[in-house]
Amino acid sequence: MCSIIGYLGDISATKILVSGLKRMEYRGYDSAGVATFADSQIRVKKGVGRVEQVNISTNLQTLPGNIGIGHTRWATHGGVNETNAHPHLSSSGQIAIVHNGIIDNYKELKEILQNRKYFFKSETDSEIIANLLQYHYDTTKDIRLSIIKTVNELKGDYSFVAVFPDGTLGAARFHEPLIVGVGKNGYFISSDVLGFIEHADDVIYPDNGEIVIVNFNGIELFDFTGMPVRHQITKISKEFADAYKGDYAHFTLKEIFEQPLTVLRAGENTRKELESFANAIKDAKQLYITGSGTSYNAALVAKHLFLKYGKKKIETIISSEARFYPDYFDKQSVLIALSQSGESADVIEAVKIAKNNGSSIFSIINSMTSSLAQISSISVGLNCGPEIGVAATKSFTSQLSVIYKIADMICDTQIEFDLQKISSSMNKVLGSHLEIQKVARDIKHASDIYIIGRGIHYPIALEAALKLKELTYIHAEGLPGGELKHGPLALMDSNSFVIAVNPNDSTYMDTLTSAREIKARGAKIIGISDIPSDVYNYWIEIPKTNESSYPFVEIIPIQILAYYAALEKDTDPDYPRNLAKSVTVK
């Protein structure tokens, strides 16, 4: 949820840390801070707000030194204020830390350390790491030992980077991401390669349960028992060059517009994995599919597709609910996990529950170096490049692309979908974005938006509602049209907006009838369809395609609508309030 970064090298640390933090803000952005080491002293500056705001208000750039750590926060323990922002210093001020994750036993450890006269300023669980490292450093005077002793006492999921009294950087990884960059100007330790993408091509991916120490003598990696470990240095994939917004006003807009290309690239490099994936599913006795947020909505599309075209039943499980249903999983089951980041804690937890019960794990992921990739038997990549906008857009259609390819390999009935045609239909819809912007102007004052869709379009209605909530903060609800009469119709009046996801297929007449019923109650109808109707107050035209291909195409106008409505409401579409992209806490 938070982003952490450390740098040690031959150029000014703050510049590097600030630009790295800006790139990783998608991980959390309620406060930010930096600590640098120079002249045997650690100096900290931090504050509330986005990195640029904190940079301006505290003059981060004035911090001296070529060694430092930085952080962007998504608050879990303690309010959003300067004291709770990272970096945190130990009570003697000799060690500073930045932390991502949650320390479960911080209260117990805090009490023990307070009795030993170590003091705390913040309400965070993170500050415990600074004082625990300091305590072990005070007793051993050994950086390596103090980290080993600390990680063996911490319970929870975490990654942290610390600056020690001689300027050494020490970091540890336990179920949270941590990546080391090796560049010509120094070493980088970060939550994401985006933290140092401009400065280093060579990377090391430490495993879970490993420690990294970096100083001017070089880099050392070892496990939590102190045993040295070796890792190959690998090259960062070129796709990360996409991590710039270019001429687009926002990452979200850029990512929406990339979709005609990214749907084609999905799963492209992993034909062998796709086939093994498909074969394993074919033979599975029980099939489950899980995900969070947008990824869960893609899972619902998969459920529909496999049943309709392959007579294959898949049970969908919202990842955060899996802990309440451990008995779903046994040795006969296969769990498919969908996740853009591969780091969502809820997804990882669901996967672990299934794995502990003997189930096989297959995953569809964008970040192929993620924790989820490591615990899966087979992973297929979305290959859509970094998605920075917090609200998922291109990763959703890429997930559909991979799901369709796998379904096509195992389903008896042929699924009519041609990704080239889908891609050009997407382009057509994108071409009408200024028309959609006009509709956005009208919905900006709506207090409630309902989205209806039947059959395979119901998951799209859910995804549409999620996009509208995330980007516009308007209450939005996805519904199967048939359910209106069982309750929601009571909510409809002249203040309501209803989006009917209504392509001309087997669901068309049912959805149109629902739209008519709603209109009779005074609500305004936005029809997303390839054919016009007098029922619609607004018609957003999508190209004609076949029933199974519509989901790819019909989500595009809703993403655009949500994006422009966000602009109309003056909210930041890339960084919606209270949210973060990679939710690595449960």
Mind telling me the catalytic residues? 2, 581
Which residue, 505 or 574, is less far from ligand G6P as judged by CB? 574
Inter-residue contact 75 to 99 (CB < 8 Å): no
Q: Is 433 in the site for ligand G6P (CB under 6 A)?
A: no
DSSP per-residue codes, 461-524: HHHHHHHHHHHH--EEEEE-GGGGGGTGGGG-STT-EEEEE--SSTTHHHHHHHHHHHHHTT-E
Q: Is 390 in the site for ligand G6P (CB under 6 A)?
A: yes
Residue 32: left (phi > 0), alpha (psi -120 to 50), or beta? beta
CB 299 → ligand G6P: shortest distance, Å? 10
Q: Sign of torsion, CA 44 48 51 55?
A: negative
CB 552 → ligand G6P: shortest distance, Å? 17
Which residue, 37 or 288, is less far from ligand G6P as judged by CB? 288
Among residues 219, 147, 149, the alpha carbon closest in space to that of 179 is found at 219
Q: Give the Cα separation of 257 and 141 in Å (integer).
A: 54
**Interface segment toward ligand G6P; rule CB under 6 A; list 159-167, 190-198, 340-348, 558-566:** 340-348
Lookup: tokens for 83: 């004291």
Residue that the structure tokens 């001689």 belong to? 166
CB 355 → ligand G6P: shortest distance, Å? 17
Q: What is the dihedral of CA 82, 190, 152, 76, to 10 degrees?
A: 40
Which residue, 295 or 383, is less far from ligand G6P as judged by CB? 295
Which residue, 186 or 293, is less far from ligand G6P as judged by CB? 293
Q: Out of 18, 203, 214, 347, which residue is the one contacting ligand G6P (CB under 6 A)?
A: 347
Q: Out of 89, 373, 556, 583, which residue is the one contacting ligand G6P (CB under 6 A)?
A: 583
CB 579 → ligand G6P: shortest distance, Å? 5
Q: Out of 44, 552, 581, 584, which residue is the one contacting ligand G6P (CB under 6 A)?
A: 581
Residues 99-118 close enough to bind ligand G6P by CB under 6 A: none
Q: Out of 95, 128, 132, 391, which residue is the one contacting ligand G6P (CB under 6 A)?
A: 391
Per-residue DSSP letter, 26: G
Q: Burial, 406: exposed, middle or buried (Cβ in 10 Å; 0-12, 13-18, 19+)?
A: buried
Q: Is 371 in the site for ligand G6P (CB under 6 A)?
A: no
Among residues 5, 1, 26, the alpha carbon closest in space to that of 387 is found at 26
Q: Is 392 in the site for ligand G6P (CB under 6 A)?
A: yes
Q: Give the Cα separation of 164 and 94 in Å (integer).
A: 7
Q: Which residue is nearest to ligand G6P (CB)?
A: 293
Q: Is 344 in the site for ligand G6P (CB under 6 A)?
A: yes
Residues 282-311 close enough to bind ligand G6P by CB under 6 A: 292-295
Which residue, 96 or 347, is less far from ligand G6P as judged by CB? 347
Residue 386: is the preceding peptide bond cis (ω within 30°)?
no
Q: Which residue ranges make up the site for ligand G6P (CB under 6 A)?
A: 292-295, 339-341, 344, 347, 390-392, 579, 581-583
